[in-house]
Amino acid sequence: MTTRILTGITTTGTPHLGNYAGAIRPAIVASRQSDADSFYFLADYHALIKCDDPLRIQRSRLEIAATWLAAGLDVDRVTFYRQSDIPEIPELTWLLTCVAAKGLLNRAHAYKASVDKNVDAGEDPDAGITMGLFSYPVLMAADILMFNAHQVPVGRDQIQHVEMARDIGQRFNHLFGNGKEFFVMPEALIEESVATLPGLDGRKMSKSYDNTIPLFSSAKEMKDAISRIVTDSRLPGEAKDPDNSHLFTLYQAFASKEQSDEFRADLLQGLGWGDAKQRLFQLLDGELGEARESYHRLIERPADLEDILQTGAQKARRIATPFLGELREAVGLRSFRTTTQTAAATKKKASKGARFVSFREDDGFRFRLLAADGEQLLLSRTFADGKTAGAVTKQLQQGGEPDIRTEGDAFTVWLEGACVADSPAFADATARDAAIESLKLALAPQQD
């Protein structure tokens, strides 16, 4: 069974070396595992909560997209997209908002910290707090639940949000699932072994401490930053203590075992800090120089990046669109046509159980095939008119063994070389195969 891994990157800044070692590099490594089905996205709706500078939002989305691609993310293997290109996400956010307990959100750390700050300053508790900040965890729950992610790699500060996603998803399942689990329960994945890099001053490398080393800006800027790494005042020739030097820690995060051993020995033998910084620069430049060039090539071709992200969005929406259709159905947001035809169909085909339900959309006609228990087995493609849609359902019912093709954890149904309908995305191959069995049963000729 494949494990679906999903994580979002808030697009407010420019990635630095600490983000690279702590999040980007391990995520790319994880995405190469054969049993991983990875979803990485730019959380640009989340960015709007923290930032009201449109230029900065725009710039950061571009830089983060280019960084991940330059760092080696293979977009054919993973699903890489912008949150704001998936309209199903804000729509699901609303469905979840309507079941999320306000009391649960009152307990969110980020919101509580803002309230505490206001209270300490003698202000109104909610001064300057937007509904965006308050609802942040619901939007994040929609990100995760939309794609039924099993694992969500995040920093420790985000564990609570993943727990809230479970809580909200469970509540939705309970209220609307009728015994069916719409949402998989996600787990936060905290990578213990991943490096938290020290910054120039030895504290954790972080934009808020202003102690970062830039990742892909330019060789000169990287060199300048390295020259500002704080060291002790031991002179060249005096022995240095590698274990108390964050310069050494930084070196180690990018070096092989042999390189680290050699560097350690040289420091113990009195290598000067100036030379040590030069060695660190050479190591980083060697490791990252090529990716830096590819980063700059990408940044110069924003239209190509746009195409890559649009393709990613299409891939994501192949899952999101039919799934959201099911969820809308579950909460009662159904076409009036569906409702009346369902009633009629239920009567007519009571013996058979499964039923076709056709409905109209702005751009044409479609149908769903629902199993006896109401589970959606198929959502058709769009047809120009109701007659064609009807002819297709007829052919499916009378056409003998259907042409079913699996595609990941979903499947498609074909007639005469054309794809006529898609299944929803199932949690795994087992669930998918069970649905294929129900489909065959539903389409098998009646024995009555």
Interface residue with ligand TRP, options 5, 7, 17, 61 (CB under 6 A): 7
Interface residue with ligand TRP, options 8, 199, 402, 424 (CB under 6 A): 8
Interface residue with ligand TRP, options 4, 16, 46, 432 (CB under 6 A): 46
Least distance from C-beta 309 to ligand TRP, angstroms? 16
88 binds ligand TRP (CB under 6 A): no
Between 37 and 143, whose beta carbon lies closer to ligand TRP? 143
Least distance from C-beta 76 to ligand TRP, angstroms? 22
What is the per-residue binding string for ligand TRP in 106-145, x denoting contact by CB under 6 A? ----------------------------------x--xx-
SS (H, E, C) 311-353: HHHHHHHHHHHHHHHHHHHHHCCCCHHHHHHHHHHHHHCCCCC
What is the per-residue binding string for ligand TRP in 140-179, x denoting contact by CB under 6 A? x--xx-------x-x---x---------------------
13 binds ligand TRP (CB under 6 A): no
All residues at 6 or more sequence positions from 314 whose CB lies less than 8 Å from its CB, including other chains: none
Q: How far apart are CA 310 and CA 315, in angstroms?
A: 9
SS (H, E, C) 123-145: CCCCCCCCHHHHHHHHHHHHHHH
Least distance from C-beta 312 to ligand TRP, angstroms? 15
Least distance from C-beta 188 to ligand TRP, angstroms? 9
Binding segment toward ligand TRP, per CB under 6 A, in 4-12, 67-75, 277-285, 308-316 = 4-12
392-409 CB burial, b ≥16 within 10 A, e <16: bbeebbeeeebebeeeeb
369 in helix, strand or coil? strand
Instruction: Check residue 277 and report its DSSP letter.
Output: H
Between 43 and 284, whose beta carbon lies closer to ligand TRP? 43
All residues at 6 or more sequence positions from 75 whose CB lies less than 8 Å from its CB, including other chains: 69, 308, 311, 312
Q: What's at 417, amino acid-wise? A: G
Between 140 and 436, whose beta carbon lies closer to ligand TRP? 140
Closest residue to ligand TRP, judged by C-beta, is: 8
Angle between helices 131-146 and 88-97 (to 10 degrees): 110
Between 267 and 319, whose beta carbon lies closer to ligand TRP? 319
12 binds ligand TRP (CB under 6 A): no
Both structure tokens of 186: 């996600």
Least distance from C-beta 10 to ligand TRP, angstroms? 4
Size of residue set near ligand TRP by CB under 6 A: 12
Least distance from C-beta 419 to ligand TRP, angstroms? 31
In degrees, to the nearest 5, what angle opens at C-alpha 60 toward C-alphas 57 and 61?
A: 85
Phi, psi (rounded to 5 degrees) for 388: -60, -45
The count of other CB atoms within 10 Å of the CB of residue 263 is 21
Between 159 and 371, whose beta carbon lies closer to ligand TRP? 159
Between 6 and 92, whose beta carbon lies closer to ligand TRP? 6
Instruction: Report strand pairing: 418-422 vs 376-380.
Output: antiparallel
Both structure tokens of 356: 């076709």
Residues of this chain that interact with ligand TRP (CB under 6 A) are 6-8, 10, 43, 46, 140, 143-144, 152, 154, 158
